[in-house]
Amino acid sequence: MTEIRTPRLLLRRWSDDDVVPLSEINADPAVMHWTGDGSPLDPDATAGEVERWEEEWDDEGFGQFAVELLGSGELIGAVGLSVVADDLPGLPSDVEIRWRLGRQFWGQGYASEAAQAALEFALQDRGVDRVVAVVRVGDHASANVAEKLGMAAEREITHPEQGHALQVYAIDLTEYAA
Ligand SMILES: CC(C)(COP(=O)(O)OP(=O)(O)OC[C@H]1O[C@@H](n2cnc3c(N)ncnc32)[C@H](O)[C@@H]1OP(=O)(O)O)[C@@H](O)C(=O)NCCC(=O)NCCS
């Protein structure tokens, strides 16, 4: 069972009980604005997302963590690692870090705290030495998180289907550990 504790958060794998609170997060248009085609996800789509994330954990040994508040146990969102979708140009087999929190949990440093722990997990537990973040141009909150993690803006690409501009950030974790 993979679990990480940070000062304020527990990062863990998913259970069926997470689908309802994650569906509430995914139903918020502000949360989903910069994700995929920008549409909120309904509970069925959310259940499918959790299923895919768990499959990725089983297949890759990493995935998106369920992030909960220590103490209350409230699910606040998803942060973690995924293999970059193979339709994104020039990022073959790269591991990407992603973050998504419920709106009431923004602005408290939780995303950065969880993401920092996920990067340490990538390097120390899984031997991943390079992680990218693919951020929609205009998504300043995500750019801010990437920059605070020490990720460098590498280049801009265009999403092959949706056509929007994406900024690729990257970090060499072997340097990050030093
Ligand atoms: C992207 C997202 C995760 C960023 O969340 P966030 O809360 O802004 O990010 P952070 O955790 O870094 O917290 C930011 C602010 O919390 C504040 N903060 C409050 N208490 C803090 C604490 N104890 N420690 C650190 N920061 C704290 C800081 O002022 C910080 O702002 P700063 O970096 O300008 O100083 C969030 O906006 C989100 O979930 N958006 C929707 C999903 C999304 O768009 N995902 C990306 C596309 S796939």
Please state the domain extents for the chain.
4-177
- Average of per-residue pLDDT across 112-122: 97
C-beta of residue 82 within 8 angstroms of C-beta of residue 94: no
Q: What is the pLDDT of residue 176?
A: 64
Q: What is the pLDDT of residue 90?
A: 82
How many angstroms is it from 42 CA to the middle of ligand 1? Answer: 24
For domain 4-177, give the fold.
Answer: Aminopeptidase (3.40.630)
- Average of per-residue pLDDT across 19-26: 98
How many angstroms is it from 106 CA to the middle of ligand 1? Answer: 5
How many angstroms is it from 79 CA to the middle of ligand 1? Answer: 12
Q: For residue range 66-97, what is the model confidence (pLDDT) as tens digits?
A: 999 999 999 999 999 999 987 788 887 899 99
How many angstroms is it from 101 CA to the middle of ligand 1? Answer: 9
Which segments of the chain are extended strands (E)? 4-5, 9-12, 64-69, 75-83, 95-101, 130-136, 152-158, 165-172
**For a substitution probing ligand 1, which of 6, 46, 103, 106 has the most ligand atoms within 8 Å of its CB?**
106
Ligand 1 atom closest to 145 (CA): 12
Q: Per-residue DSSP letters for 52-70?
A: HHHHHHHHHS--EEEEEET
Please name every residue paired with 152 in a beta bridge, in sequence order, or none if there are none: 170
Q: Is the pLDDT of residue 177 over 80?
A: no
Question: Pocket residues for ligand 1 (CB within 6 Å)?
Answer: 31, 34-35, 98-101, 106-112, 139, 141-142, 144-145, 148
- Average of per-residue pLDDT across 152-166: 92
C-alpha span between 67 and 74 (Å, rounded): 8
Cβ within 8 Å of residue 107, ≥6 positions away? none
Q: What is the pLDDT of residue 103?
A: 98
C-alpha span between 17 and 165 (Å, rounded): 35
The residue whose CA is least distant from atom 4 of ligand 1 is 141
